[in-house]
């Protein structure tokens, strides 16, 4: 029987099926960080249990960490305590830990792929909803709660009902200045913030085939924002080229064996999906959100939908506009921007900073804009310096910060003040997400760069010279 | 994690007819810094419940003495966003044992079941009936029967059945959790790991 990519990976990891209950799924890689693991380790200790497979578990510090002066002790006592707990727990259980100061430290969903830990055909979980990022490699990757973190630590398994399957096809060619983030925000705006709840998504079609791994990670990362458990892209030559020679990737004979397996990881002709959606790349503009969930997005030259046009619920629509200080049917271009944030597990990879720099080059930061430029990892930071992006940023009046989740969820000091507007490359524009009272507009690194240099919401296509476009795509 | 067994819950309910209530509202990120699971109820819906100076916002339902009870009735797509289990801990710690909505985000639903909260998914029509009944008379009691998988409004005679998989139902009714189950399967898991590719 023809099987989907999702079926192939899921079914090969089922240890046992419980009748009228969840499947017991074996987990190949478990990522942990300082925020959602301490209570799980405490639970383990209370039950007198050990970590079953410490070598399949990887820890990094990212959610809480400061983005300046990382060599100094962390000032916030609660953050410091969580970081300390991760240090102690990983040492106690023999788990590899890339803490602050480690050259491999960075955001969990950036460092996993970067080091060849994330591979096609794996099952991957982490106590973070954006674990869906790893689906870019043709893995089943999803976020879990702390009870489930304890479950995976103690048994390397998780109990989950098998989700339904959705395929999202985007064909055609993307226009100039249209990035993977725009593709993701476009799809979510069409399907709404709950449009894929209960499903696991496969992204298929020309647009994803032509996309870099960084781009696929951005799209898979945002899957959770339409309610999906995760999203995945079938691995191909782009995937294999990305993985080859990464530190923990298979090599030599093991590489060849892996490769022959990975090449089988695609949906068979005629495989059944519970739901399919089709979109045309030519319809996608640079996107920006106007509301307080990621489904409330629009093409940057469009107007905010009226109450009648908006999908996803009237009560949240009205509440959102009031919170954002926007009015029904008005345009977004020209709106004043106070803060710009580039970074996060959505857009903190090298390609995102290349994009950003393609617009910033030869321009100056707008005086009134505060910009937080935060690489996803030390490796990305190093690339930024080596590729000359650092110099472009400095000449334009920006500063580069140290890696971490930063203003995406504002658990460290990087908080957008109440009432201020931020163009953010992160994944969520929920009320108060980037700090109590903050107002977030989600967008691509190109839109963020255009806002950073003009100080207002600007269509990046107006600032892109033809030769710069090539570099950005 | 130990939680109270769930069988039949009869209680008044708190109406929150807002769609897309996300986990950042249920418990904002800045309150995720604890290393132990306690005290999260104090910060449930923190930024809707209190103003920047820490004073209760009169117009928020949790601050309205008209409504009380162990059942929270929310709008469509309740619990969207983060995987933070702290959101479910906050709901439980505040005193809710059951959340009713016409649609739940997956991870929030899983997390709720894992910490002893029963998420009851009803039709949009029944959800409207619940809101109408509770708002018309805040003393209206609801009856949620897990053994029967039925939610009732005894005062109006309305009721609706709800789905829950039998494994999760069994766990919730007995206070068991998945870790107990998985521990009993260690040998099978070990054997599976031997054959595992990665």
User: Rounded CA gap, A304 and A290, in Å?
Assistant: 7
Chain A hits for B75, Cβ within 8 Å: 313, 315-316
Nearest by CB to A15, from B82, B189, B197: name it: B189
CA distance, residue B56 to nearest chain A CA (Å): 15
pLDDT at A466: 56
Helix (H, G, I), strand (E, B), or coil: what is residue A215? Answer: helix
What's chain A's Rg over C-alpha atoms?
A: 21
Number of Cβ atoms within 10 Å of the Cβ of A278: 11
pTM attached to this predicted model: 0.96
Chain B hits for A76, Cβ within 8 Å: 33
Nearest by CB to B106, from A76, A150, A229: name it: A229
| Backbone dihedral angles phi then psi of residue A165, each to the nearest 5 degrees | -115, 135
CB B90 within 8 A of CB B117: no
CA distance, residue A224 to nearest chain B CA (Å): 7
With CB atoms and an 8 Å threshold, state whether A198 touches B106: yes
User: Rounded CA gap, B196 and B163, in Å?
Assistant: 34
Residue B99's Cβ-count burial label (10 Å; 0-12, 13-18, 19+) is buried
With CB atoms and an 8 Å threshold, state whether B81 touches A36: no
Number of Cβ atoms within 10 Å of the Cβ of A285: 18
pLDDT at A469: 54
Residue pairs between chains A and B whose CB atoms are closer than 8 Å? 206
Q: List the A123-126 sheet strands across, edge first.
A: A96-98, A57-60, A29-32, A123-126, A140-143
Chain B hits for A128, Cβ within 8 Å: 82-83
User: Rounded CA gap, B55 and A15, in Å?
Assistant: 52
pLDDT at B151: 98
Q: Which residues contact A209 (CB under 8 A, 6 or more apart)?
A: A236
pLDDT for residue B2 is more than 90: no
The sign of the dihedral angle between the CA atoms of A428, A374, A436, B85 is: positive
Q: Which residue of B has its CA nearest to A86?
A: B35
What count of residues does chain B have? 198
pLDDT at B3: 84
pLDDT at A471: 52
pLDDT at A464: 87
Question: Which one of A20, A88, A146 would you mutate to disrupt binding with B, by most B Cβ within 10 Å of its Cβ?
Answer: A146
Quickly tell me which residue has 């919401």 as its tokens: A457
pLDDT at A314: 73
With CB atoms and an 8 Å threshold, state whether A150 touches B179: yes
Token pair belonging to A249: 């990737």
User: B8-195: CATH homologous superfamily?
Assistant: Aconitase, domain 4 (3.20.19.10)
User: Rounded CA gap, A63 and A31, in Å?
Assistant: 13
Beta strands in A281-414 (DSSP E): 287-289, 297-299, 339-342, 370-373
What is the rounded end-to-end Cα distance, in angstroms, of chain A?
39
Could you read off the pLDDT of B116-141 as tens digits, one per residue? 999 999 999 999 999 999 999 999 99
CA distance, residue B29 to nearest chain A CA (Å): 6
pLDDT at A230: 98
| Backbone dihedral angles phi then psi of residue A361, each to the nearest 5 degrees | -50, 125
CA distance, residue B82 to nearest chain A CA (Å): 5
pLDDT range class, residue B85, cuts 50, 70, 90? very high
CA distance, residue B111 to nearest chain A CA (Å): 6
Quickly tell me which residue has 């998989």 as its tokens: B165
User: Rounded CA gap, A422 and A256, in Å?
Assistant: 47
CB B141 within 8 A of CB B12: yes
Q: Which of A261, A243, A258, A255 is nearest to A116 (CA)?
A: A243
Token pair belonging to B197: 């590719």
Could you list the mean pLDDT of each consecutive 10-residue stretch along chain A, which spans 473 residues? Answer: 97 94 96 97 96 98 96 95 97 98 97 98 98 98 97 97 97 96 98 95 98 98 98 98 97 97 98 98 98 96 91 78 96 98 98 97 97 98 98 97 97 96 98 97 98 98 71 50
Chain B hits for A15, Cβ within 8 Å: 185, 188-189, 192
CB A353 within 8 A of CB A87: no
User: Rounded CA gap, A253 and A295, in Å?
Assistant: 45
């Amino acid at each position: 029987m023809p099987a989907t990519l999702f079926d192939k990976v899921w079914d090969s990891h089922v240890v046992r099926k419980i009748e009228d209950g969840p499947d017991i799924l074996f987990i190949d890689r478990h990522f942990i960080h300082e925020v959602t693991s301490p209570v799980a380790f405490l639970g383990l200790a209370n039950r007198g249990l050990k970590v079953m497979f410490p070598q399949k578990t990887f820890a990094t510090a990212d959610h809480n960490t400061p983005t300046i002066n990382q060599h100094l002790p962390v000032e916030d006592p609660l953050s410091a305590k969580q970081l300390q707990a991760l240090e102690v727990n990983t040492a106690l259980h023999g788990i590899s830990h890339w803490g602050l100061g480690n050259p491999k430290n960075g955001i969990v969903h950036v460092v996993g792929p970067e080091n060849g830990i994330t591979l096609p055909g794996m099952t991957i979980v982490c106590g973070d909803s954006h674990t869906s990022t790893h689906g870019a490699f043709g893995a089943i990757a999803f976020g879990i709660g702390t009870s489930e973190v304890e479950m995976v630590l103690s048994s390397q398994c998780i109990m989950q009902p098998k989700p339904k399957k959705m395929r999202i096809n985007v064909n055609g060619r993307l226009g100039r200045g249209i990035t993977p983030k725009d593709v993701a925000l476009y799809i979510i705006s069409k399907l709404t913030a709950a449009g894929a709840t209960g499903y696991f998504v496969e992204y298929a079609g020309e647009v994803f085939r032509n996309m870099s791994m960084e781009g696929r990670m951005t799209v898979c990362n945002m899957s959770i924002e339409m309610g999906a458990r995760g999203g995945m892209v079938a691995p191909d030559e782009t995937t294999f080229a990305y993985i080859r020679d990464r530190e923990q990737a298979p090599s030599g004979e093991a590489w060849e064996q892996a490769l022959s397996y990975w090449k089988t990881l695609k949906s068979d002709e005629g495989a059944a999906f519970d739901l399919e959606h089709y979109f045309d790349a030519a319809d996608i503009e640079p996107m920006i959100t106007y509301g307080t969930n990621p489904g409330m997005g629009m093409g940057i030259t469009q107007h905010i939908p009226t109450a009648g046009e908006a999908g996803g619920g009237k009560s949240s629509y009205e509440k959102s506009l009031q919170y954002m200080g926007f009015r029904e049917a008005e345009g977004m271009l020209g709106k004043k921007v106070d803060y710009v944030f580039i970074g996060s597990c959505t857009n903190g990879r090298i390609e995102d900073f290349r994009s950003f720099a393609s617009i910033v080059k030869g321009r100056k930061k707008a005086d009134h804009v505060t910009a937080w430029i935060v690489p996803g990892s030390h490796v990305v930071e190093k690339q930024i310096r080596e590729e000359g992006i650092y110099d472009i940023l400095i000449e334009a009046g920006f500063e580069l910060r140290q890696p971490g989740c930063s203003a995406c969820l504002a658990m460290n000091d990087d908080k957008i003040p109440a009432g201020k507007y931020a163009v953010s490359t992160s994944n969520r524009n929920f009320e108060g997400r980037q700090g109590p009272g903050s107002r977030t507009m989600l967008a691509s690194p190109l839109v963020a760069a255009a806002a950073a240099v003009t100080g207002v919401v600007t269509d990046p296509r107006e600032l892109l010279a033809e030769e710069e476009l090539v570099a950005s795509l | 994690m130990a939680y109270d067994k769930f069988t039949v819950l009869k209680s008044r309910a708190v109406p929150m007819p807002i769609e897309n209530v996300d986990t950042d509202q249920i418990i904002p990120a800045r309150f995720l810094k604890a290393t132990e699971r306690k005290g999260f109820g104090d910060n449930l819906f923190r930024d809707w419940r209190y103003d920047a100076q820490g004073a209760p916002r009169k117009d928020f339902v949790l601050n309205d003495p008209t409504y009380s009870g162990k059942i929270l009735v929310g709008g469509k797509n309740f619990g969207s966003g983060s995987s933070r289990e702290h959101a479910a801990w906050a709901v439980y710690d505040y005193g809710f044992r059951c959340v009713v909505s016409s649609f739940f985000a997956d991870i929030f639903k899983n997390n709720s079941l894992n910490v002893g909260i029963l998420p009851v998914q009803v039709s949009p029509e029944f959800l409207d009936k619940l809101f109408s009944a509770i708002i018309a008379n805040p003393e209206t009691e609801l009856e949620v029967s897990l053994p029967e998988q039925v939610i009732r409004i005894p005062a109006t005679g309305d009721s609706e059945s709800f789905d829950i998989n039998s494994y999760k139902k069994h766990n919730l009714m007995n206070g068991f959790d998945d870790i107990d189950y998985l521990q009993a399967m260690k040998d099978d898991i070990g054997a599976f790991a031997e054959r595992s590719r990665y």
